[in-house]
Structure 1
Amino acid sequence: MNKNLLGNSDLYLSRIGLGTWAIGGGGLTSSWGPQDDNDSVAAIHRALDLGMNWIDTAPVYGLGHSEEIVAKALKTASTKPYIFTKCSRTWNEKRETGNSLKEIRREVEDSLRRLQVEIIDLYQMHWPTPEEDIEEGWSVMADLHKEGKVRWIGVSNFDVAHMERVMKIAPITSNQPPYSMINRNIEREILPFCQEHHIGTINYAPMHSGLLTGKMTKERVANFPEDDFRKRAKNYQEPLLSRNLGWADLLKTIASRHSVSAGVVAIAWTLHHPGITAAIVGGRNAAQIEDVVPALNFRLSDAEYDEINNHIKRDKTPAETVSLG
């Protein structure tokens, strides 16, 4: 199996890893709607059985529930993966979420407890907010690394200016930005910067939260529950919805040549960029995992990559520029 070294770490990652945002469950404005915990455990087991060797989670996914489900699944898993989680998104007793970089020490202890591990393999600052606290927060992250609470430290949703600020304090192992053929914002500055400074990039939303799986329909979008954030996302509204579903149809055409799903092609498109170390893929049940797991090894030819890009260029409808996770 193909594995890539993550930045300045000693972590060799499978080309895709399991994202656990959706398994946090419903009830929040940033959730994906209701989720069955048994399905979540089955998805984690299947991902590990089929070769994914890392899991990405965060406290804010279900306000701790995603981390707890990861721990539950790993008790009976066939193999132990690398565990990545995050900090800086906090909540209060009323379940109101916000950003804080002053509670990282409490957050890491809470995550260690929920995940039932003694060390976190990659600890990531989820968002660079509030901006005035970035340096203070990153200094704490660096201390946690020195103390052995976490093996490596990274960032998520950081632009070049943010990374330049914290690099003065301690090296960055990785950045986790959104990246798909719908959202290509990082290609201009962020990916080249990370390549130049040997910062690994693990992109999230390579299938743009389901839009590029080849299984999304207008009817399905119309029936999203109210607590599914996609119901309000710009790319799930017209005229972008029709355009995006058209792009997914192209992916299905290419996928049929290789007997894989459109989602696998969407993931492979992101992995074709030399600046991408590995991609985060979500799965809410074992069947969804089986659908995308060929992306562990599947590669687009240069001709197919160009075919997709030329199709995108011909479509002048602007893509969504707002990050999703």
Structure 2
Amino acid sequence: MNKKILGNSDMDISRLGLGSWAIGGDIGDWGWGKQSEQDSINTIHAALESGINWIDTAPAYGLGNAESVIGKALKQTHYKPFVFTKCGFIWNDGESELNLRLDKPSIIAEIDASLHRLNVDVIDLYQIHMPCSDDENEEAWHTLAELKQQGKIRHIGVSNFSDKQLDHVHAIAPITSNQPPYSLINREIEENVQPWCQQHNVGIINHSTMCWGLLSGAMNKARFAQLDKRDWRHKCGAYKDPVFSLALELVEFLKVMAERKNCSVAHLSIAWTLANPATTGSIIGARNTTQLEGLLGAADLHLTSTEYATINAFIREQQATLV
């Protein structure tokens, strides 16, 4: 699998990385429904064997469960992928509600817990999961820089930051990467975030590239209605109209191009994010090896300039209907 250096780091990462939100299971209010731990472990091993060399996770995914499963999986393989995790969302014992906290004592407690669950001595990339106020972001960033000096973190990054928030913390210590949402449905970062990151040599690892399954080519309203009632997507705005219907229209449009290119809609959706020069890598989520195998081809799919422009033109026409 092709690779690209992540920002100012020495990490040459595969264009696709394995996300672990879904394998956190149905623990907490933001899970994806029931999940087999063995399926998760098999999927992690298959991803590493395919050439994926980084895994993205967070304590919020299954209230620590995703990190624990990754730790178990890595014990059972000779592969040594880069491990990326985050801080900022915490929960009380016996409660599933996530609360955003970025104070220094909380982050120190979080990283020690993550190191234990992941069974690693150092975290390759530690990210602020979600921005808060400027003062809180600043305290958190100072803390991450200190933890890097202490050797608990190799590189520090952020997730879901705007260009102004990036500018604020970058003045304190260099940012290695930003992890924003980016998909055919959500292109907000193109205006300011992507140019900022390119200008400052900050890598971009996109999350939600298939908009939580909407752009997989397998989703429809009947299937959505049958999702596990614990699946957080029942409260996701993207699964409500008008976005839901527009996404399904986009999928139908993509099916024609996918058939011509002998690939899947999911491949096209992910490859489109990789085609942007600001992208270092994109995260794919899979709950079993079958799902994983259906996504890996995106790394090798080439979109011509004409195909890229055709997709963008269709999206512009859709967006015009919402104005």
Matches within 5 A, 1:174-323: 174-315=177-318, 316-318=320-322
Asked whether the 8 Å contact 2:161–2:180 carries over to 1, the reply is yes
| Matches of 2:246 and 2:141, distance apart in 1 | 40
- Note the residue ranges of structure 2 that are not aligned, 5 or more in a row: none
**What pairs with 1:1-325 in structure 2 (closer than 5 Å)?**
1-95=1-95, 96-102=97-103, 103-315=106-318, 316-318=320-322
Amino acid at match of 2:231: D
How does the TM-score come out when normalised to structure 1?
0.95
Does the residue aligned with 1:18 lie in a helix, a strand or coil? strand
Q: Check whether the contact 2:59–2:85 (CA below 8 A) recurs between aligned residues.
A: yes
Using a 3 Å threshold, how does the CA distance of structure 1 residues 318 and 91 change in structure 2: closer, same or farther?
farther
- The percent of aligned pairs where both chains have the same amino acid is 46
Of 184-193 and 77-86, the range deviating more from structure 2: 77-86
User: How far off is 1:218 after superposition?
Assistant: 1.0
Please say if residues 28 and 63 of structure 2, whose CA atoms lie closer than 8 Å, have aligned partners that are also in contact: no
* Distance (whole Å) between structure 1 residues aligned to residue 13 and residue 266 of structure 2: 20
Consecutive unaligned residues in structure 1, runs of 5 or more: 320-325
Contact 1:264 1:295 in 2 (8 A): yes
2:148–2:154 Cα contact (<8 Å) kept = yes
Distance 1:83 1:259 in 2: 33
TM-score by length of 2: 0.95
* Per-residue CA distance 1:199-243 (angstroms, 9 max, x = gap): 000000111110011010111111222221211222212332222
Q: How far did 1:132 drift?
A: 2.7
User: Secondary structure at the residue paired with 1:287?
Assistant: helix
CA distance in 2, matches of 1:254, 1:123: 38
Distance 2:227 2:112 in 1: 35
Runs of 4+ in 1 over 6 A off after TM superposition: none
* Gap change, CA 1:212 and 1:92, over 3 Å in 2: same
Code of the residue aligned with 1:269 in structure 2: it is: W
RMSD: 1.4
Q: CA deviation at 1:28?
A: 2.5
Number of residue equivalences: 319
